[in-house]
């Protein structure tokens, strides 16, 4: 998961009972395996004293930043979203390295053609 990120900022008030997602995500980020996957990765923790809700902000390696409301988003859901975005980043990089344009634009007329090698069944 961390290989797709350059930075994570975790903000929470320690007295807020809704910090479970922040704590779980911070533990995932600080695990040895995660750290070894991206040694340059940074974790910034901001312990707040105000009523600001728990929040997790991730910065992807391409500079895109995304904030999550940690009161209503489980750590596992955040991790899944990061992995999905990471797969898109890897695909984009693969196309660019091959000299292809990104995003891939499929002409409308090709969308109506049946895919070769796929057998169509009648219902």
Domains with residue ranges and CATH for the chain: 2-98 (3.40.30.10)
Cβ proximity of 75 and 59 under 8 Å: no
Cβ proximity of 62 and 4 under 8 Å: no
3-class secondary structure, 93: helix
pLDDT of residue 71: 92
pLDDT of residue 18: 92
Ranges of residues in the chain whose predicted pLDDT is under 50: none
pLDDT of residue 39: 83
pLDDT of residue 7: 92
pLDDT of residue 99: 86
The pTM of the full predicted model, rounded to 2 decimals, is: 0.74
Q: What is the DSSP letter of 53?
A: P
């Amino acid at each position: 998961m961390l290989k797709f990120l350059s930075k994570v900022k975790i903000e929470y008030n320690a007295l807020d009972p809704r910090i479970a997602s922040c704590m779980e995500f911070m533990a995932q980020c600080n695990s040895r395996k995660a750290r070894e996957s991206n040694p340059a990765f940074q974790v910034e923790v901001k312990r707040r004293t105000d009523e600001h809700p728990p929040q997790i902000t991730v910065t992807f390696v391409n500079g895109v930043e995304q904030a999550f409301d940690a009161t209503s988003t489980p750590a596992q859901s955040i991790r899944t979203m990061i992995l999905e975005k990471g797969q898109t980043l890897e695909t984009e990089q693969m196309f660019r390295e091959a000299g292809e344009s990104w995003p891939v634009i499929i002409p409308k007329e090709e969308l109506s053609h049946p895919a070769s090698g796929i057998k169509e069944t009648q219902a």
